[in-house]
Amino acid sequence: MVYLIIVAIVLVFWILSGFFPLKVEQAKYTVVEKKKGYEIRKYAPQLVAETVVKGDYQRAINEGFMILAGYIFGDNVSKKKIAMTAPVVERQGISEKIAMTAPVVAGLEKGHRVIAFGMPSGATLANLPKPNNPQITFRMLNARKMAVLRFSWFSGGRRVDAKKRQLLEMLNRDKVKTISAPQYAGYNPPWTPPFMRRHEILVEIR
């Protein structure tokens, strides 16, 4: 009986930990339209910190996250901590403005991937501390329209690739013109219960 109570308590705390992302600032958007299998959103301009890494999806996510997390946790010239935001975004290292009409599989461009963190509201290049790590750069994203496919549970490389293909196929079905490669966005820390995890695939559209 005591064992069951302990298991129940651990389970409750594990599930409560899944609400962590609700406490951090998230990328701002409005839903424009709901389509069959995905939705169209308009995102506000956002300053992001990026790093380019090489390797398969899982290795890139882990390595890129550690580089960027180091920066916001104080690895900068001012030793200043910066508020964490969500999501963490992964995209292939290819040009932002390439028209896409067919499914794209991750791993193009010699395996280079860009991992990005959004900076908090009010952050500018003038008031952000300079990174100690030269691999980190900053980029201002303009307001943009995105098609978004949301899913939960696990986000291994094969599943993310399949979801990217799925979204592109749906956009092709609906004759929606795309102007970027698919991106993966993850919102949760690794200890989040799988059924509570939020994952998204995003593609910029006209």
The 10s digit of each residue's pLDDT in 128-180 is 999 999 999 999 999 999 999 999 888 777 898 899 999 999 999 999 999 88
Domain 23-204: which topology? Multidrug-efflux Transporter 1 Regulator Bmrr; Chain A (3.20.80)
Provide CB contacts within 8 A for 121, sequence distance 6+.
25, 28
pLDDT at position 95 is 40
The 10s digit of each residue's pLDDT in 80-115 is 999 888 888 888 755 443 333 322 223 334 568 898
pLDDT at position 18 is 46
